[in-house]
Structure 1
Amino acid sequence: MMRVILIAAALLAAVVVGIGSFVIYQGASSTEARAFGDPFTLVDQDGKPVTEAAFRGHPSAVFFGFTHCPEVCPTTLFEMDGWLKTLGDEGKNIRAYFVSVDPERDTPEIMKSYVGNVSDRIVGLTGETAKVEAMAKSFGIYFRKVPLEGDDYTMDHTASVLLLKPDGDFFGTIAYEENSQAAIAKLKRLAGA
């Protein structure tokens, strides 16, 4: 009987310590700004250096894709531009980015032309392959090169738009082909974050 009491007391103590640790962690993490992803250095469509600081001080919508994408990327970029236009002044503080997961082909010049044909609100980002790979992985973005016939290839990649709060912390996602009204509602909430 005494053994059962000791085991029960030990379990109760473990639960109390666990709950206390969780409460302390939640209290500390709710007051500290926590950025999503690791620090990075890429270049924008004008060849200027861009770091994680670009995702601070304002809400951000970030999409990872590539310019040779046949459907998902151009569709998403057109939708992002449409969402931002629909928001008007309500979304004026949201900055939008298109990060290439195919930096071998997506030079700053190509990114500028590609993104510029869709929107003046979206900034293209690219860079050295290793830096792009590290940045994308730190944001939880899946991507891989898929060989095609001949020497060609395509890229398989995460198709969601990441939403980041002004402190750089994760806010949510907009899924590929998500209902436009739902996407705009998420962006409105992001704009107020």
Structure 2
Amino acid sequence: MNIQANTLRSFVKHACFGLFASAALTLSACSAGSAPAPEPPLAGADIGGDFELTDKNGETVRWSDFEGQYRIVYFGFAYCPDVCPTDMQRTAQGLAAFAEFEPELASRVQPIFITIDPERDTPKVVGEFASAFSDDLMGLTGTPEQIADAASKFRVFYAKGEESEGGGYLMDHSRIVYLFGPSGEPLATLPADKNADAVAQELAKWVS
């Protein structure tokens, strides 16, 4: 089974453009208040840590490479039929909406997709999957041991499902979109299970 990048791009481009206007109102409201910002919900949590993975070009990527950047991190798999594409679509659209009104802040956010299916998700496959949603989304893979180590540090569960007669299979995994701060500290989860507008609103709370 091959990743159909063009099909995924079409899926992503079917965006709800009305969310941009909605996000504008939300972001304006956020900046209008003078109350001190609350503590991030994941502040102090033991989530995240050093990893050594591989990007679409076969180059080694480490967690420390993103020092000084906010990071959106999602673990999934490229052959996922619905949940992963939906979460990545909403996350990419939410970040794009945030960038419409806070371009300088949004430029400091690096979205990252990490596969939990290294058996099938080669550098080329994760690269095609990620680029279908955003040119800024970085797809990463690695050896089974590297993926297991990263998933453990990011508190992500995953397991291979039963194979079909044709050899295909699905992956069970945690459905979490994390937001990390410039020093790699966990800040919050992004509500990609809701919609892109909700993602934009959450980014506005914590990216500053």
Q: Which fold has the larger relative contact order, with Cα–Cα distance below 8 Å and residues 6 or more apart in sequence? A: 2
Contact 1:61–1:162, Cα closer than 8 Å, also in 2: yes
Cα RMSD over matched residues?
A: 1.8
CA contact (8 A) 2:97 2:197 kept: no
Report what 1:7 is aligned to.
none
Counterpart residue number, 2:93: 82
Report if the CA contact (8 A) 2:192-2:199 is conserved. no
Give 3-state SS (helix, strand or coil) of 1:124's partner: strand
Q: 1:35 Cα shift?
A: 7.7
Listed one character per residue, the Cα deviations across residues 119-158 of structure 1 (whole Å, up to 9, x for unaligned) are 1010001011111111111110011001132232110111
1:135 to 150, 157, 175: 150
C-alpha separation in 2, matches of 1:189 and 1:55: 21
Aligned residues: percent identity?
30
**CA contact 1:103–1:127 (8 Å) conserved in 2:** yes
CA distance in structure 1 between the partners assigned to 2:170 and 2:46 by the alignment: 31
1:106 aligned residue = 121
- The Cα shift of 1:179 comes to 4.0
Pair 1:176–1:159, CA change in 2 (3 A):
farther
Q: How many residues align?
A: 160
TM-score by length of structure 1 reads 0.77
Provide closer, same or farther for how the CA distance between residues 111 and 138 of structure 1 changes in structure 2, counting only shifts above 3 A.
same
Looking at structure 2, the residues matched to 72 and 34 of structure 1 have their Cα atoms a distance apart, in angstroms, of: 26
* Deviates further, 174-183 or 144-153: 174-183
Given that residues 159 and 176 in structure 1 are in contact (C-alpha distance below 8 angstroms), is that contact kept between their aligned partners in structure 2?
no
What are the within-5 Å matches in structure 2 for residues 153-168 of structure 1?
Answer: 153-168=169-184
Alpha-carbon distance in 1 for matches of 2:191, 2:45: 23
Q: Quick check: 1:68 aligned with 2:79?
A: yes
In the alignment, what sits opposite 2:20?
A: none
User: Contact between 2:90 and 2:192, CA under 8 Å: does it hold in 1?
Assistant: no
**In structure 2, what is the Cα distance between the partners aligned to 1:54 and 1:136?**
18
Match of 1:171 in 2: 187
Task: Please give the alpha-carbon distance, in whole angstroms, between the structure 1 residues aligned to 2:199 and 2:96.
Answer: 13
Residues 1:34 and 1:73: Cα distance change in structure 2 (over 3 Å): closer
More strand by share: 1
Q: Is the radius of gyration larger for structure 1 or structure 2?
A: 1
Letter in 2 for 1:65: G
Q: Which moved more, 1:100-109 or 1:75-84?
A: 75-84
**Post-superposition, which runs of at least 4 consecutive aligned residues in structure 1 deviate over 2 A?**
33-38, 178-182
More helix by share: 1
Note the residue ranges of structure 1 that are not aligned, 5 or more in a row.
1-32
